Amino acid sequence: MKKIVVLGSINVDIILNIARLPLPGETMAMSDRSTAGGGKGANQAIAAVRAGADTSFIAKIGQDRSADFMLDTFKYDGLNIDHVTKDDKAGTGQAYILLDEKGQNSILIYGGANQTITTKNIQNASETIAEADCLITEFETPLEATIEAFKIAKENNVLTILNPAPAKTNIPEELLQLSDIIVPNETEAEAITGIKVTDEASMVAAANKLHTMGVKNVIITVGANGSFYSLGEKSGFVNAFKVNTVDTTAAGDTFIGYLASALDADLSNIEEAMKFASKASSITVQTQGAQNSIPYVKNVNI
């Protein structure tokens, strides 16, 4: 069984259903409101464990009802939460998701306890990281902690996957060089490289720019169109599965969790792993919400 560690965020998602995004200064009614577990780190960890991987999570929560809600979810799925700690001042992270009738979303984030993760928290989890096959992280927790975790991973030959989301324009060179695989979507790829991703030629150009910045391997996801990979001399495109989209929340996180669960250490099965991840994502987008929409591996058939 693949051992995966995820360093990342925990948010309670407040989903606000609206016909369309409001204009500046506009007041409009919602058609519905719901609550679900979320946070990019938590989503990726849930995806990995539901994909069948032995998954450990490094994260922080507050001392509030939201924390209890999230811990119950993690325990139900069998996620290792030995390194999910509580902060005595900051509250559990929150995300406010504006979801329109076409299934597209805009998200506002309150970082809360997610922003209190320190290098000490990472060092306390160093043994867990060292024993893993793969370490995943994103940008909803402090960069200092991310770099420390990736250093420990590389010292122990652990595969590192960086999901550069939310998008950042100035990623430390050290972090890029510690990343075995970077997995941005088209918006994030443009933010990092300055190259607008619109077709395969621009995907190649963006991937080449990322290679020059120090990243060995690149996967660029482009939503309903699919995903592009560049492993230096080898590159290709994997088409998405066509489905009726209800909500794209957690689709990218599902892709990454499932990808890590299937990917061989030498990346020799990159296309097969991406196809598997794409299938899981296509199931996620057919249900509203984040973690509740992430499928179990028994339901992912390709």
For the chain, the domains span 3-7+40-89+114-299
Phi and psi, residue 130, nearest 5°:
-60, -30
Residue 54's CB is within 10 A of a number of other CB atoms, namely 18
Of the candidate CATH numbers 3.40.50.300, 3.40.1080.10, 3.40.1190.20, 2.60.40.1890, the domain formed by 3-7+40-89+114-299 belongs to 3.40.1190.20
- Give the separation between CA 253 and CA 281, rounded to whole angstroms: 8
Residue positions forming the annotated binding site for substrate: 11-13, 39-43, 140, 253
Could you tell me the maximum CA-CA distance found in the chain, to the nearest angstrom?
Answer: 53
pLDDT by 10s per residue, the chain, length 302: 899 999 999 999 898 999 998 999 999 999 999 888 899 999 999 999 999 999 999 999 999 999 999 999 999 999 999 999 999 999 999 989 898 988 787 888 899 999 999 999 999 999 999 999 999 999 999 999 999 999 999 999 999 999 999 999 999 999 999 999 999 999 999 999 999 999 999 999 999 999 999 999 999 999 999 999 999 889 999 999 999 988 888 899 999 999 999 999 999 999 999 999 999 999 999 987 789 899 999 999 87
Q: What is the pLDDT of residue 35?
A: 86
Residue 173 and residue 182 in contact, taking contact as beta carbons nearer than 8 Å: no
Q: What is the pLDDT of residue 231?
A: 96
Amino acid found at 218: V
Active site residue 87: no
Q: Pick the catalytic residue: 54, 87, 133, 253?
A: 253
Which residues, other chains included, contact 76 with Cβ-Cβ below 8 Å and sequence gap of 6+?
A: none
Angle between helices 186-193 and 200-212 (to 10 degrees): 50
Q: What is the pLDDT of residue 102?
A: 84
Residue positions forming the annotated binding site for ATP: 185, 221-226, 252-253
Residue positions forming the annotated binding site for K(+): 247, 249, 284, 287, 289, 293
